[in-house]
Amino acid sequence: MVWHFKTILTLILVALLFYSCSSVPITGRKQLDIIPDNEMLSMSFQQYNQFLKSNKESTNQKETELVKKVGRRIADAVEKYFAQNNLSNRLSGYKWEFHLIESKEANAWCMPGGKVVVYTGILPITKNEAGLAVVLGHEIAHAVAKHGNERMSQALLSQLGGLALSKAIEKKPAETQKIFMAAYGMGSQIGVLLPFSRVQESEADHLGLIFMAIAGYNPNEALDFWLRMEVAMKGKEPPEFLSDHPSNSTRIEDIKKELSEAIKYYKTKQ
C-alpha cells in the first residue's frame, strides 16, 4: 500500500515537471520553469532597485552612455527576433534598464524584465563597443532564455522542498533572496545546480552571438573578447569542474563552431 502511494506520488511529480517545461528560443532545449513570470518580474524589480540603492553608479558619462547605447541595440535586436518568431509574449512586462556600477569586478548580469548591470571592472577587457556587445548579448540572453527562472525552479525543488516562490519569500525570505542572487550571477554557488549552469552559459554564448549580430555587431569580435578575458583571468580562473562557467578555452572552441550561424544574421543586417 505504501509502495503504491509512493508510485502514484512519483508519477504526479513527473507529470508536474513535464507540464512545467518550456523551450529555450533558438536552441529549443527543454527547461524546467515552475515560477509564474509575474512573480519573477516582481522580485526582480525589487532586488534590482535595492541593488542600485546600495551600490555606486559610475560618474563617467561617456562610459555610462556607451553601456546604455549598446544595451539598447541588443535589446532592440532581441525584440526584433522575438517578434519575427512569434515569441513577443515572452518579453511581456520587460522594462529595459542599463546601469554602469563602480566596481573592480569584471562582471555583468541581467535580471528578468531586462534589468542590466555592468561593472566598470569589465570595461578594460571589453575594450571597445563590439566587446561590450559580446558581454551584453550574453547577459541579456541569460534573461530572455529564462535561465534564472530555470535555476530558481531547480532550487525551489531541491533546497526549499518545492515551495511556490510567493510562499518561499513569505516563509524563508533570506534563503530565497540568496538563491535569487546566485541564480542571476550576483553570487556564487557550487553544487547541485552546477551541471545545468554550464549548459546555460554555453547557451547564452550561442544566443548572445546571434543577438549581437542582429544588432549590427560583428560576432567574430567574441573571439577577441574571450581571448582578452583568458589573459585577464590567467591564474585566477578556478578549475572547470568547480566553475559554473565553461573554461575560456572550451568557450572559445565552442564559439568558433557557432560563428557561421551568427554571421548569417550579421550579413543580413549589413
Q: To 5 degrees, how large is the angle CA 16–CA 20–CA 22?
A: 155
Q: How far apart are CA 252 and CA 179, in angstroms?
A: 29
Task: Note if 261 is an active site residue.
Answer: no
Q: Given the residues 65, 79, 105, 139, select the one marked as catalytic.
A: 139
- Could you tell me which residues come within 8 angstroms of residue 93 by beta carbon, excluding any fewer than 6 positions away? 37, 38, 41, 113
Crossing angle of helices 129-144 and 61-84, rounded to 10°: 50
Find the length of the chain: 270
Active site residues: 139
